[in-house]
Chain A
Amino acid sequence: MELSGQIGVWIAAFLTIGISSFLYRDNPIYKFCEALFVGISAGYWFVSLYFQNLLPMLFDNLGITRLLGLSQTNGALQNVLSGQWDERIWYVFAGVLGIMMLLRLFPKIGWISRWPLAVVVGSTSGLYMITYFQSNFLSQLQNTIIPLVNLGRISALAQGSGTLDEYFAAYLGNIVVIAGTLSGLIYFYFSKEHKGVFGGTARVGIYFLMITFGASFGYTVMSRMSLLIGRLYYLFGDWLGLVR
């Protein structure tokens, strides 16, 4: 056993145990760790966004830092004023929209913040309208227009021995994809009452959805266990030095 000599490792170990103590019951140490996490996250985001975005993208590009004597490089303002066109001057609009967004902090003129929001919503909608249609609709739809059995896979299997899942994929895989897609779509069709053959197909759709949710749950369990394993390796390895 070789305890870590680094103060940072000890703090991280204390915070890990502090947060985990909630599993026993709510307590002041957990509350302290939680508050610390929220505070540090907010601070980190602020500093990160300022130094990696606001400063280089807005203040440096426009020449505000040059104006304040904090930079030696000319920005768009200096260039334009000296008669040299600089396309970075368009960042003025971004800056103005940013300031308008902050005006929601003042109730009397808070309505102005709706304008930059409208720009964000409008441009994002326009951008996503095409990408969603291409990536999530057309490509997925195209992938369901397939033969009922996969002849390519079947002929490949005929040449050598395959595993059970390879046989399943070859003979039943495509049927399951087509049946799952159609029955799932029928379940979400509410303009016709779910009765008879239509209702039965919708019920099959529910089963497919439940299997999907089950797979997602399984993956979520795996993910959470991985995080626990990671923290235990940290505690037993990096902190206590019990494992390498």
Chain B
Amino acid sequence: MQKIFEKLLSLDRRYIFLVIFLAVAVPIFLKLKIDIRVTDEVNAFYKAIAELSSGTRVLVACDYDPGSEPELQPMTEAGFRYFITNKIRFIIIGLWPQGPMQANKALVAINEARDEYIVVNDEKLYFGTDLVVVGSDTARYGIDFVNLGFQAGNELVIQRMGSSVRAAFQTDLRFGKPIEDFDIMRGLNKLSDFDFIYNISAGYPGTVEWVQFAVDRFHVPCGSGSTAVQAPQVYPYLDTGQLSGLMGGMKGAAELEKLVGFKDKATMSMVSQTAAHIFVVLFIVIGNLAYFATRGRVAKKG
């Protein structure tokens, strides 16, 4: 038995990589389903957005880049779906340069219209950018949503928005037009004019800064979708009520998809995730058993 343990301890780590690869890859093809239990923190987030009435305006801060796309993009897509189907208007910004691009990508992904564009009053409106169709609902750029792009300055941008949104964002990302030209921006002068902040965060600047500057200073409720790595760091804000809800990693995204009623990428990935976790736990148990077993033998010899 000890020889087996010794062999296991000196096993080439590439075999472990191979096993994890198979554990993740095989379920992708098997198309298995798994029951997802919605946790209290995601329920709290959903409850917070469910309390928003139609016409209210939400600030969507996309603070992530393609490196966190598998975890956070499903949250962005599910959030947009919910907002559009419930006629909640949203303003996209990013404290990360690629965040607003990720938001654009999400809008293209959720758009269900098959045509490329339609012509309204001699104006070509492109689906996925000017118009986003979800089920029987359509959101129009400038009226139901707008993308103000990225602004450098990290938490200072939030601080600036506290007194003036215009001071932090002068123009939109798509047309470069002054933000006051858009219908959605009417009466939106400062951070406290927003009804809710939906922050999708992969690190700094992100949820921690939104809590510290927007929630605690300007008293705007905030819900967060965080990468799993960041989630333990922001959990304390949930317990104190500084955060209205929290989704951690791909599991949190899958829970939101379940609540929104559109099971997509995150839900599909849960079987692979579970299989990989089972093997990781197994490896940790075997590794510890082997370590203690061989250490005992060495001690006896000594």
Contacts and interface: CB of A to CB of B under 8 A. Distances in A.
Given A219-B248, A222-B277, A233 B242 contact: no
Contacts of A216: 229, 232
Interface in A1-44: 23-24, 44
Nearest to A226: B250
B24 A225 contact: yes
A24 B14 contact: yes
Nearest to A44: B97
B102 to A, nearest CB: 13
B150 interface: yes
Contacts of A228: 20-21, 24, 276
A53 B149 CA distance: 11
**Contact residue range for chain A?**
35 or more
B212 A219 contact: no
A60 to B, nearest CB: 9
Interface string A47-75: 01100110010000000000000000000
Interface in A84-120: none
A219 B228 contact: yes
B24 A223 contact: no
Interface string B138-174: 0000000000011110011001000000000011000
Interface residues of B, number: 51
B211 A135 contact: yes
Interface in A124-139: 127, 131-132, 134-136, 139
A131 B14 CA distance: 46
A214 to B, nearest CB: 10
Contacts of A122: none
Interface in B16-71: 17, 20-21, 24-25, 28-29, 67-71
B287 interface: no
A227 interface: yes
Nearest to A136: B212
B104 to A, nearest CB: 15
Interface stretch (B80-88, B124-132, B265-273, B289-297): B265-273
A215 interface: yes
Residue from the set A136, A212, A219, A236 with the largest chain B CB neighbour count within 10 Å: A219
Contact of B28 (A136, A219, A225, A232): A232
A212 B250 contact: no
Given A221-B280, A223-B71, A242-B29, A229 B213 contact: no
B249 interface: yes
Q: Is the interface of B mostly helix, strand, loop or mixed?
A: helix
A127 B25 contact: no
Contacts of A230: 69-71, 269
B10 interface: no
A226 B273 contact: yes
A231 B67 CA distance: 10
Given A229-B24, A243-B28, A52 B152 contact: yes
A199 B216 CA distance: 37
Interface in A179-229: 212, 215-216, 219-223, 225-229
Contacts of A229: 24, 28, 70, 250, 269, 272-273, 276
A233 B249 contact: no
Contacts of B71: 223, 226-227, 230
B207 to A, nearest CB: 11
Contacts of B273: 222, 225-226, 229
B97 A45 contact: yes
14 contacts: A52-B152, A127-B156, A131-B213, A215-B232, A219-B231, A222-B249, A222-B250, A225-B273, A226-B273, A227-B68, A228-B20, A233-B28, A233-B265, A233-B268
Which 6 residue pairs spanning A and B have beta carbons closest together? A230-B70, A223-B228, A226-B250, A219-B228, A48-B97, A222-B228
Interface of A: 23-24, 44-45, 48-49, 52-53, 56, 127, 131-132, 134-136, 139-140, 142-143, 177, 212, 215-216, 219-223, 225-233, 236, 242-243
